[in-house]
Amino acid sequence: MRLTIAQIAQLVGEIAPVCVPSRVERVQAEPPREIALQLEFLSPVLGSRHGELVLCADGALPRVWLTLRTGPRRDGPIGPFFQQVLRELEGAQLERLEAMPQERVVTAHFAGTSSGEPRSLRLELFTPHATLVLLGRAERILAVLDEPTGEPDSARTPSQARLAVGATWQAPARGQWQGADSAPSLQELARQALGATSEPPVGAAAQLPLSHYVASVLGEAARQAQRARDAADLSRRLSRRAERARSLVRGLEQRKDASGGAARVREDGEILLAHLHLVQRGQTQVELPDPFSDSLTAVRQIELDARLSPKANAQRCFERYKKLERAAAHVDAELAKARQAAEISERLLALLAEPASDPRAIEAQAMQAGLLEERPAHFARERAAKDGPKAARLPYRVFRATRGSEIWVGRSAADNDQLTLKLARGNDLWLHTADAPGSHVVLRLGKAAEPDPEEVLDAAHLAVHFSPLRGASKARVHVARRKQVHKPRGAKPGLVALSGGKELSLRLEAGRLERLLKGDGTEGER
């Protein structure tokens, strides 16, 4: 969907005689890609003294229109581009509105700005890369809605280089944004839309039929297109969450089945201790008399670790027994929670598939249920630009521990590998949940430094939070030095093996976790 060059010229031809000249009473930002200039007409021609000129840089359907009413003030945080437009243009006079010949470009020219200099607000309607540009004298670019941040000049796309702040605005290369403009006139489309109703046109439909068509008919098409994009994005996120929940259910069911054999594992250990003189180091299995059988001649085959002594193999059985017992104590609650997450995910996916569903309302339900994290607001890109140049993406989030040490939390399975195997130092402390998949967590330590117990607890809390066990009251966490963590040959991303370390039984503290999450890992959000 897009307006042709001819249709843009027709639209501006209807709008300009009504709103020029006028005074900008208010600049109303509508992040992420829309701005409304609330105007007082200095030479009213349609009987109205006020209106709102809207410039929308929606990539799917960029458009411009005029209404003979002004909406209420919409308060909320806005990014640096909208802030600069507001400072420059509020109170200024709109002197000219024009469509650039042979280009999909509309420009509003202003005098009497806060800086005392002439300013222009230019809307580029090049789908899918529409944008808004604030210009000064001699077409110098002062601000761009989508200003690139952090990329060196050599890495910028032709579009980004063309719109660099401080450069002189130039139209894109001929043909880059052009295409066949064989489409009905906007007047004909508006007549067809108005003719579909039995009511005679009144108000804006009669006074500004082209703007009315763009705002209502095309606006609804744009909203439906946005809804489809939101639905597709949410469907992907919910599908991933549902698959993770199903995978966790399978793992917990396996753990529950394994915990049912805890008594037999303890018996294996007792049999080994009673017959140590019959077992030799290096054996991978052994057959010993089974006193727990009803048969006096029964023997039991026990698997052994050839690297361990007979006594160590018995101790390993007892440790395995304790682990299975602990798992059995809370596996039912975890399994119920995982099944509920899978059920809710599937229900929301089915709801999302309904034609009249509202993706944003469903997303809110998913966040309330703890299935999805809240996403950054639409103006996050602008806010990041205001904060400074954007650094390269890191494979981890950064949190601060109690004593100030950094805690790095991997973002994905592949990121876990990079964090643990390439970025962490050998003396750093490595943590991971013992009974569930999840992020690798690294507590950064100085050379030969010993970890502070409170900071270890901080890192363990984050390991549980960034795993399917999030929300559990108790959990167990592996703790080891990074040099004790190894990647088995051919192992899938994120899977590692330990050659040492210990297991920490953790009771989750809500206050500690809340303190850690206050920063949201922003130091690593790059």
CA angle, residues 422, 428, 429, in degrees to nearest 5? 115
CB 33 within 8 A of CB 59: yes
Q: How confident is the model at residue 482 (pLDDT cuts 50, 70, 90)?
A: very high
CA distance 402 to 400: 7
Residue 297 has pLDDT above 60, yes or no: yes
| Percentage of the residues of the chain whose pLDDT score is greater than 70 | 86
pLDDT digits (tens, 9 = 90+) for 315-336: 999 998 888 777 777 777 888 8
Mean predicted confidence (pLDDT) in 401-413: 91
Higher pLDDT, 4 or 521: 4
Token pair belonging to 411: 């973002």
Q: What is the biggest distance separating any 2 CA atoms in the chain, rounded to whole angstroms? A: 110
31-40, 201-210, 363-372, range with greatest mean pLDDT: 31-40
CB 27 within 8 A of CB 52: no
Q: Which residues pair with 303 in a beta bridge?
A: 285
Token pair belonging to 183: 């489409």
188-202, 426-440, 508-522, range with greatest mean pLDDT: 426-440
CA distance 246 to 264: 29
Secondary structure (3-state) at 48 = coil
pTM of the model: 0.54
Tokens 């029964």 locate to 298
Tokens 């901080």 locate to 458
Q: How confident is the model at residue 498 (pLDDT cuts 50, 70, 90)?
A: very high
Residue 378 has pLDDT above 80, yes or no: no
Residue (of 200, 152, 55) closest to 392 by Cα position: 152
Instruction: Report pLDDT for 60.
Output: 84
Q: How confident is the model at residue 153 (pLDDT cuts 50, 70, 90)?
A: very low
The CATH code for residues 5-183 is 2.30.310.10
Instruction: Report pLDDT for 334.
Output: 82
Classify the C-alpha dihedral 27-30-33-34 as positive or negative: negative
**Which segments of the chain belong to CATH 2.30.310.10?**
5-183
Higher pLDDT, 69 or 486: 486
Tell me the CA distances in angstroms from 75 to 27, 28, 78, 153, 322, one per residue in order. Answer: 12, 9, 9, 36, 57
Instruction: Report pLDDT for 205.
Output: 64
CB 79 within 8 A of CB 378: no
CA angle, residues 47, 52, 57, in degrees to nearest 5? 145
End-to-end Cα separation, the chain, in angstroms: 33
Q: How confident is the model at residue 381 (pLDDT cuts 50, 70, 90)?
A: very low
Mean predicted confidence (pLDDT) in 388-394: 56
CB 48 within 8 A of CB 68: yes
Mean predicted confidence (pLDDT) in 186-209: 68
- Read off φ and ψ for residue 443, nearest 5 degrees: -95, 115
Residue (of 437, 382, 453, 486) closest to 84 by Cα position: 382
Mean predicted confidence (pLDDT) in 282-295: 92
Mean predicted confidence (pLDDT) in 495-523: 84
Token pair belonging to 290: 């089974």
Secondary structure (3-state) at 131 = strand
The average confidence (pLDDT) of the chain is 85
Mean predicted confidence (pLDDT) in 398-403: 90
CA distance 481 to 483: 5
Instruction: Report pLDDT for 484.
Output: 94
CB 459 within 8 A of CB 504: no
Residue 16 has pLDDT above 90, yes or no: yes
- Read off φ and ψ for residue 270, nearest 5 degrees: -65, -40
Give the burial class of 424: count Cβ atoms within 10 A of its Cβ; 0-12 exposed, 13-18 middle, 19 or more buried: buried
Residue (of 238, 246, 304) closest to 272 by Cα position: 304
Tell me the CA distances in angstroms from 118 to 1, 30, 94, 121, 423, one per residue in order. Answer: 33, 24, 10, 10, 52
Instruction: Report pLDDT for 198.
Output: 47
